[in-house]
Structure 1
């Protein structure tokens, strides 16, 4: 299957088959794919939490609004968080990044308000979200990106010190009766001429 075909077939899964499990080697591949995600100046201001324990998923499901069933029935819930402590981030880049990258941060990003800096972190995490969804599609794993959750409660349940939850992704395999799959509900996108320009 080509990447284009994988993207044509991927969709936000609404109903999971709780009995069908993802192979452990595929979970390990997704972890490595996330580790390799791109970020501005290789800043990597993130943490990815793979939740497979059913008791933890049950706790998270109660603070996931309309996504309760997806959290409960998916094979794995991946929580994407950004660093919420600027001191922790600055110590991290001093240890991990070359001097030129640290200087870029200090001169270009650090003088901005804290809200701007954290928004910049958010953008890096959302780059990794796109990589994750694409990787799942290519691997034949169904997924659902979810902002419909209570981030503060997620942080408490997962004990995310110095990090803040942004989004979660349920992954697994669709239930045959899922009404949202392309075979039952064709994908709806604007026409290419409305969103793509060539100059």
Structure 2
């Protein structure tokens, strides 16, 4: 499963395991990220996904090996001669997984279609766990169906594409959003910044389109 981290680097998820790591009766997800390590995710109905990353370890198994009600993680190190480690073994339980500082961005008020509101909220949770490219792509796909918040959604995709260095995509979304007067100042400033970043990164490859262009698919 390919994805991108917050800095735009491509990631591939290799293994997904589940198990109750802290003994609270609810499972966590333990995900292998190729070449980077392990990501732990807590899923709670009333809270966003919150990641904890452990570098340099590939998860192999999640199982309650000592039958104490708390699952252990068997992982291999990223070394020429990998070592097997058992995380959570022994008499001391794993502490509850800590939250991260980043929370999903609230979606705009006034969305008339509940399905669009839910899709946007789900996409923002992906951004909160470090997958801005996935969020931007998903919002781009549904922007044309989002009715009264189409331009808000395009502005958000511009911000996300800009954050991962996709300057041309960012500029196009910003300019499409600028056709709504109340968003125009932010959107045009974003388009100009994306164009400037593109010139720095690519030696002059991105120009900000003129405001008033159609929505970019």
Question: RCO (CA 8 Å, sep 6+): is it higher in 1 or 2?
Answer: 1
Bin of the TM-score, shorter chain as denominator length: under 0.3
Please give the TM-score of this superposition, normalised by the length of structure 1.
Answer: 0.26
